[in-house]
Structure 1
């Protein structure tokens, strides 16, 4: 009588152990497939983007879809090909209407203390306005708008006649020229530096 109960106990242990092993194996494969890699591609350039490494500071966002929309925009290509990376996705709000929200895709370059944001409208499935994080200053020093703080590495100046934003460093070197939909120049390799300055 004792032998069948010991045998039954041993079979139950084996069955329980086999079930635990299978459970662990399925969790591992689940984690391995959860990271989605997207690619920005143009010509022979291919830049992988691991969506699982991008912090999301937003709510109810389809990260893959938002990044795919941003990657279809010319500005993303200019930034990515010049060493910038997608560093976050966050909810942004319209300055004129705080109830109207959009998604900001943030790009950063490790060598510069700047961010560039591209707004994405997930419902319309299109990229919108772009903007740089550099603070605005009234203009170049010869416009007599007061001194620029030494703590500011870069500032933005607006050219109202051409509807352009210029990002400029303390040495008065133009680093970026853009409007709300296009990046025209990005130091050092995108665009024509002779058009925008030294």
Structure 2
């Protein structure tokens, strides 16, 4: 009986040791994983680090580093980053004219406002495309449902200037213009980019 207990105890100790070694090896191999690249936006003496591992991917068939590098070449990305906005996600987007034509949306967000601005990226052509803000479009064509009173829960909205083909993002609580842009350019961004007097109500 004592002999069987000794054999059983020896077998259990051996199993514990083998399991410990296996776990140790697993920990060792994790040290060899490649860290996510750290990208930089640089202009003059400005340098902003972008850790790609912190950006949620809502589309998994793209090269996140390449997509961000394409977006960073665009002037709008620089304007947003320099004014406190951050890249917060990469996801699939669809063209309004052709829902089958997919592109990649790089989302920039300012949590203090809070608003998102999306820059489309065409990975195949390696270029940035149209931009748009997340604020509710209210007033102007071609949005026929945006008539009547603005919903109470809306803090920021977009007014369309059809004569200049511009979108004006407005803080409804003080009627302050926050952003003015068209599909390819940001002309004004509160508080420090552009001239508010050119675009204000």
TM-score, structure 1 as length reference: 0.83
Q: Distance in 1 between matches of 2:152 and 2:22?
A: 65
**Residue 54 (1) aligns with residue 61 (2):** no
**Segments of 4+ moved more than 6 angstroms:** 16-20
**1:24 matches 2:27:** yes
Give the RMSD, CA atoms, in angstroms.
2.1
Deviation track 1:26-51 (CA, whole Å, cap 9, x = no partner) reads: 32131xx3221000000011000000
Describe the SS at the equivalent of 2:68. Answer: helix
Contact 1:102 1:119 in 2 (8 A): yes
Give the corresponding residue for 1:74.
Answer: 75
Give the Cα–Cα distance (whole angstroms) in 1 for the partners of residues 151 and 56 of structure 2.
31
Structure 1's unaligned 5+ residue stretches are 1-13, 140-144
Render the CA deviation track for 1:73-98: whole Å, top value 9, x for unaligned: 00000000001000000000112211
Deviations 1:141-177 (A, max 9, x none): xxxx422122110110111111111001112111000
Tell me how far 1:25 sits from its aligned partner.
2.6
Q: SS state of the match for residue 87, structure 1?
A: strand
**TM-score between both structures, scaled by the size of structure 2:** 0.82
Alignment equivalent of 2:165, drawn from 152, 159, 163: 163
Cross-structure match for 1:125: 126
Give the whole-Å Cα distance in 2 for the aligned partners of 1:148 and 1:24: 56
Structure 1 position 183 matched with structure 2 position 192: no
Deviation at 1:24, TM superposition (A): 3.1
Q: Is the 8 A contact 1:59 1:91 kept in 2?
A: no
Residue in 2 aligned with 1:89?
A: 90
Aligned length: 179
